[in-house]
Structure formats: C-alpha cells, structure tokens
Amino acid sequence: MSEQTSPAGDEPAADWMIIEVFGHRRHAGRVREEERFGAKMLRIDIPKVERIDLPGDERPVPSVTVTSWTTHFYGGAAIFSATFTDEASVLRMNTPYVAPSRMSLPAPIGDRDEDEERPF
C-alpha cells in the first residue's frame, strides 16, 4: 500500500470498479492491470474523499473533493469479485460517513406565537 498525491497522468486509462478480495475486503476505485514482481497484478487506486458541507446545501449527494489516493496491488487469485461502475459511485462509496447526531435539522416552519405555551 502506498500514498500518492494523484495518479500519474501518463499512465494507461483505468476502469472504475468495485473489487472484493477473498470476499473479506472491498475497495472502490480506478483499476488497471500491471506487471509487478514478474506477475500480472491488479492495481486499484482508491480516492481519499473529503465531504464539503455547504451551508443550506440540501442535495442528496454531498459535494466532495479528492485529496489523495491510496494504491493496493493484488494477485489475480485473490480477487473474489469485480464490478464495473462509474466515478460518481466510487466517490460516493469512499465519502466519509457523517453520524446522524452531527446533522442539523431544518429551521421550524410555522406561525407559532412565542407566547404560546408548548406541550413539552
């Protein structure tokens, strides 16, 4: 595993895929075949994604930016499953989870008077 700032631009085109290794690990990223250590191997570059929370942004898909890439190499026998997908799905899968307690509720709507007694 290695950290990179971004994949090199002069490398061959890669496919966006979801890879399962031995049925236990799951990665989503850019995939291509490379020869390493005298054998053909799968290279997967996994984007590290940061969520950009904009005030008042109510879109179902948050704005994200890729900050770096992590690279893994696997031999062909280790691959349990490979599914082709698109870039948006890969970014969504790698977006950090935000706990519900950190989400804010929308402002209350209504013409309730402040002097009105509340039941709670």
Per-residue pLDDT tens for 76-118? 999 999 999 999 899 989 988 766 666 666 677 775 555 566 5
pLDDT exceeds 70 at position 22? yes
Q: What is the mean pLDDT of residues 17-21?
A: 95
Residue 65: pLDDT band (50, 70, 90) is: confident
Distance, CA of 59 to CA of 105 (rounded, Å): 14
Q: What is the mean pLDDT of residues 3-12?
A: 54
Q: In what order do the strands lie in the sheet with 39-52?
A: 2-4, 63-75, 39-52, 25-36, 15-21, 79-84
8 A C-beta contact, residue 29 and residue 21: no
Distance, CA of 29 to CA of 20 (rounded, Å): 12
Unique residue bearing structure tokens 């085109």: 13
What pLDDT is stored for residue 36 in this prediction?
92
- Domain range summary for the chain, segments of one domain joined by +: 2-97
Residue 63: pLDDT band (50, 70, 90) is: confident
